[in-house]
């Protein structure tokens, strides 16, 4: 007897770095507990570059009495340079991850798509610190009442999260499964941590949890559900270093774009290694890193702003690469450069 499978969900990871905006290097895996849940719910996962489809022969099985056991997926990237071209300023590889779930969704510019993050792109709200044993509450006040819950808002027993010392804002976690923990002051959420008790854990880029009750409700309302996770591309200040002494012979060098606008300042002389006369051009504004850039920068001499004319020295300057980033730590923060040597 043939079984009919309903297409429940399509989930896409999108990234503005790529020309087709599909984050194809994303890799989705899951643990044995989720594998068992997939079998119990008669689900089929069909991956494709940049996402996956979810099908089932019995949608009604998605309705469960225990919303505490979602489908959990590990999110990683097969491209080691993803962190260089992705705009995630407060993400740290060592002790933070990205967390997504479908409990709260928002509409994207494409009304058929539901975003699994609070803003247009993945950002600080999705960056969660990882804990193996403790939660530290900043600006703790012993006179106030704090409480803890799971991702769904279900209260966590005081036996599982215990204050280390009286008047201390540090709480120890025990006898809980790997999961998101939210902490509150009265009814105000103060923050979240992702708890994993495993001493040695290969932390993923992110965790994606799909709660089947909410997925079924969305499917029954609108048909096949389309989730989207949008990543923005990093913007950097580009600096061209003209290393060869041949450029010293020109009278008045400048860099223009295809619209014949001077979008770089300079040149300024700067010492690089033992060469004291390297000519350096710096972009007036930050420029997005992209897989294929539509910008066409040219090195010209004696460029006239009025007539937009000048002698072209280099017709197509090399574009910035995600592999070449330089972070300058300033008093007011950090500034990220792309260094390009000519």
Domain edges within the chain = 1-126+204-233, 133-197, 235-341
Backbone phi and psi for residue 204, each to the nearest 5 degrees, phi listed first: -80, 170
The DSSP bridge partners found for residue 72 are 209
**Residue 2: its pLDDT value, please?**
61
Check the CA dihedral 330-336-341-342 and report its sign. Answer: negative
Number of separate helices (H) and strands (E) present in the chain:
3, 26
**Residue 127: its pLDDT value, please?**
97
**Residue 110: its pLDDT value, please?**
67
Q: Report, in this order, helix, strand and coil percent for the chain, each rounded to 5.
A: 10, 45, 45
**Residue 308: its pLDDT value, please?**
81
Q: Which helix (H) or strand (E) holds 236?
A: strand 235-242
| Alpha carbon distance, N-terminus to C-terminus of the chain | 67
Q: 313, 294 in Cβ contact below 8 A?
A: no
Stretches in the chain below the pLDDT threshold 70: 1-2, 65, 109-111, 274-275, 331-333
Span 133-197 CATH architecture: Sandwich (2.60)
Backbone phi and psi for residue 33, each to the nearest 5 degrees, phi listed first: -65, -40
The DSSP result for 55-74, as a single string, is EES-GGGG--S-TT--EEEE
Q: 176, 133 in Cβ contact below 8 A?
A: no
Please give the Cα distance from 79 to 17 (Å, whole number): 13
Check the CA dihedral 209-211-214-217 and report its sign. Answer: positive
Q: Which of 334, 121, 137, 156 is CA-nearest to residue 236?
A: 334
Please give the Cα distance from 131 to 116 (Å, whole number): 23
CB-count exposure of residue 155 (10 Å: 0-12, 13-18, 19+): exposed
């Amino acid at each position: 007897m043939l079984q009919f499978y309903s297409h429940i969900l399509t989930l896409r990871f999108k990234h503005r770095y790529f020309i087709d905006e599909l984050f194809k290097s994303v890799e989705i895996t899951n643990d044995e507990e989720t594998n068992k849940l997939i079998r119990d719910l008669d689900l089929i996962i069909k991956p494709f570059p940049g996402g996956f489809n979810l099908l089932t022969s019995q949608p009604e099985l998605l309705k469960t009495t225990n919303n505490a056991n979602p489908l959990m997926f590990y999110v990683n990237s097969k491209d080691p340079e993803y962190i260089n071209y992705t705009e995630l300023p407060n993400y740290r590889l060592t002790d933070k991850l990205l967390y997504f779930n479908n409990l709260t969704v928002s509409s994207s510019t494409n009304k058929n798509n539901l975003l699994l993050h609070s803003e247009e792109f993945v950002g600080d709200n999705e960056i969660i610190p990882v804990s193996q044993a403790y939660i530290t509450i900043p600006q703790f006040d012993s006179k106030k009442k704090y409480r803890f819950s799971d991702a769904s808002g279900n209260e966590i027993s005081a036996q599982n999260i215990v204050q280390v010392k009286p008047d201390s804002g540090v709480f120890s976690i025990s006898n809980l499964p790997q999961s998101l923990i939210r902490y509150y002051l009265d009814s105000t959420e103060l923050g979240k941590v992702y708890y994993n008790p495993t001493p040695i854990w290969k932390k993923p880029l992110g965790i994606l949890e799909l709660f089947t009750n909410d997925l079924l409700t969305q499917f029954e309302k609108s048909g096949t559900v389309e989730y989207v996770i949008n990543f923005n591309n990093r913007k950097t200040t580009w600096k061209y270093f003209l290393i060869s002494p041949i450029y010293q012979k020109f009278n008045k060098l400048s860099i223009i774009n295809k619209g014949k606008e001077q979008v770089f300042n300079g040149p300024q002389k700067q010492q690089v290694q033992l060469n004291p006369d390297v000519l350096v051009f710096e972009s007036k504004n930050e420029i997005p890193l992209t897989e294929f850039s539509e910008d066409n920068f040219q090195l010209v001499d004696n460029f006239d702003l009025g007539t937009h004319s000048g002698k072209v020295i280099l017709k197509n300057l090399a574009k910035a690469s995600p592999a070449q980033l330089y972070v300058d730590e300033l008093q007011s923060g950090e500034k990220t450069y792309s260094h390009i040597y000519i």
